[in-house]
A and B are shown apart, each in its own frame.
Chain A
């Protein structure tokens, strides 16, 4: 067995992306849960620049940054490819993965905002969802086409995580029927066996995100 370790922290969406990629490719690994309030020497040694999870450690060599880790996984374990073969389609997939990365602050602003700021963030988040649905997903079943690809993993948080965030904030971004194709994608994504078996528990996420939002609001007003 290849010596493979994943340093992660529940319920990090970035860590889940790496978990999904490894599971979809049938790659065995050892998972190490990190306490981000008390970072281990290993984490600091393996990712001294950012000190963040996820970090993949392969034969003792660390790979950090989610997008870099996913490209590495794709290259080392090419079975069940998560990126298209065609260079143009591959570039398109990378574009949407980067889009998600660049725009995630807007969704974060939705989660931690209050009052007028909250309204503005909600509006922006909904506009982004429209772009993602129209230009990213289009008429496809998955962002990756007929099967799940890296872009699906990048937007994977729109499934289990967004529902919990919406409940905690008390505002629905994905109102019924406003994003029918994203809703259909959500259903298909969560039904995929490897995804279904590897989603964080909703009942555990609720108190976690409730407490997180309270902390963020408190630190913003002090």
Chain B
């Protein structure tokens, strides 16, 4: 049975990597949806009623019921529609590993990027070094847990971990231009090579915010802080 457009609504903001995650998942599964750009400086009544606890994007509304938190939305999309491709591995052990590294990325690496963006000079140098160490742990852990295979793809198709990492990291060139280098290729060559492979995925290219537009927005935000 085909889902009617309008039964699935995604509230998001175009700069949010967390929202990109949800769009990638919906597109991969071939789920038609309506996208609503939310102005976070002036949140609509409707938006606040859908996510009263956190008041953040993304929020997915399906048949009038709302789901918040990007990783939870991804799991919901996986379970709520019986379409291929599968986002997560079939084997429970592999699934646990993929969830573990998605959690690690969100709890350790993403905050480390924010610290870099929010700091200057010596503090920023330290923040970049700290982040690089966390990325090293990620690199070693991924190689150990997924020997000889990419956990970011299921064959040729983007998977859960590729969606989670790619949404944040594939914009690194825009970040470099607007704010400054956050990931140094000499320090984390493996991570960057994985990110570059993700960048080459056509679906990623058409879903990520446009490079120049993002550079302009990030530069403007930096000037105003």
What residues of chain A have their CB less than 8 Å away from a CB belonging to chain B? 48-49, 58, 61, 63-65, 67-69, 71-72, 75-76, 87-88, 90-92, 94-95, 98-99, 131, 135
Instruction: Output the least CB separation between A74 and chain B (Å).
Output: 9
Complex: A61 Cα to B103 Cα, angstroms: 19
Complex: A68 Cα to B104 Cα, angstroms: 11
Q: How many B residues face the partner with a CB closer than 8 A? A: 24
Given contacts A72-B92, A95-B68, A135-B52, contact A49 B75 (CB under 8 A): no
Q: Which residue of B lies closest to A48 (CB)?
A: B141
Q: Which residues does chain A contribute within 8 Å of B95, judged by CB atoms?
A: 71-72, 75
Is the CB–CB distance between B76 and A91 below 8 Å?
Answer: yes
Is the CB–CB distance between A88 and B141 below 8 Å?
Answer: no
Instruction: Output the least CB separation between B170 and chain A (Å).
Output: 24
Q: Which residues does chain B contribute within 8 Å of A76, judged by CB atoms?
A: 92
Instruction: Output the least CB separation between A175 and chain B (Å).
Output: 23
Q: Which residues does chain A contribute within 8 Å of B99, judged by CB atoms?
A: 65, 67-68, 71
Is the CB–CB distance between A49 and B137 below 8 Å?
Answer: yes
A-B contact pairs, 19 of them (CB 8 A): A63-B93, A64-B100, A65-B103, A67-B103, A68-B100, A69-B96, A71-B95, A75-B95, A87-B76, A88-B76, A90-B75, A90-B76, A91-B76, A94-B72, A95-B69, A95-B72, A98-B71, A99-B53, A135-B53
What residues of chain B have their CB less than 8 Å away from a CB belonging to chain A? 52-53, 62, 65, 67-69, 71-73, 75-76, 79-80, 92-93, 95-96, 99-100, 103-104, 137, 141
Instruction: Output the least CB separation between B112 and chain A (Å).
Output: 15
Main SS class of interface, B: helix
Q: Which residues does chain A contribute within 8 Å of B62, judged by CB atoms?
A: 88
Complex: A94 Cα to B76 Cα, angstroms: 10
The total of interchain contacts (Cβ-Cβ below 8 angstroms) comes to 62
Complex: A135 Cα to B49 Cα, angstroms: 12
Cβ-defined partner of B79 (8 Å) among A48, A64, A90: A90
Q: Which residue of A lies closest to B91 (CB)?
A: A75
Q: Which residue of A lies closest to B81 (CB)?
A: A87
Q: Which residues does chain B contribute within 8 Å of A92, judged by CB atoms?
A: 67
Instruction: Output the least CB separation between A177 and chain B (Å).
Output: 24
Complex: A98 Cα to B52 Cα, angstroms: 15
Is the CB–CB distance between A131 and B53 below 8 Å?
Answer: yes
Is the CB–CB distance between B100 and A61 below 8 Å?
Answer: no
Cβ-defined partner of A61 (8 Å) among B68, B75, B80, B93: B93
Most B CB within 10 A of own CB, among A61, A63, A87? A87
Is the CB–CB distance between A49 and B104 below 8 Å?
Answer: yes
Is the CB–CB distance between B67 and A91 below 8 Å?
Answer: yes
Q: Which residues does chain B contribute within 8 Å of A87, judged by CB atoms?
A: 76, 79-80
Q: Which residues does chain A contribute within 8 Å of B69, judged by CB atoms?
A: 94-95, 98
Is the CB–CB distance between B67 and A95 below 8 Å?
Answer: yes
Q: Which residues does chain A contribute within 8 Å of B65, judged by CB atoms?
A: 88
Is the CB–CB distance between A98 and B137 below 8 Å?
Answer: no
Instruction: Output the least CB separation between B62 and chain A (Å).
Output: 7
Other A-B contacts than A68-B99, A72-B95, 10 sampled, CB-CB below 8 A, are: A61-B93, A67-B99, A88-B65, A88-B80, A95-B67, A95-B69, A95-B72, A98-B69, A131-B53, A135-B52
Given contacts A95-B69, A135-B52, contact A72 B96 (CB under 8 A): yes
Is the CB–CB distance between B141 and A49 below 8 Å?
Answer: yes
Instruction: Output the least CB separation between A168 and chain B (Å).
Output: 28
Complex: A129 Cα to B33 Cα, angstroms: 35
Is the CB–CB distance between A91 and B75 below 8 Å?
Answer: yes
Q: Which residues does chain B contribute within 8 Å of A67, judged by CB atoms?
A: 99, 103
Complex: A41 Cα to B71 Cα, angstroms: 32
Is the CB–CB distance between B96 and A91 below 8 Å?
Answer: no
Complex: A203 Cα to B73 Cα, angstroms: 42
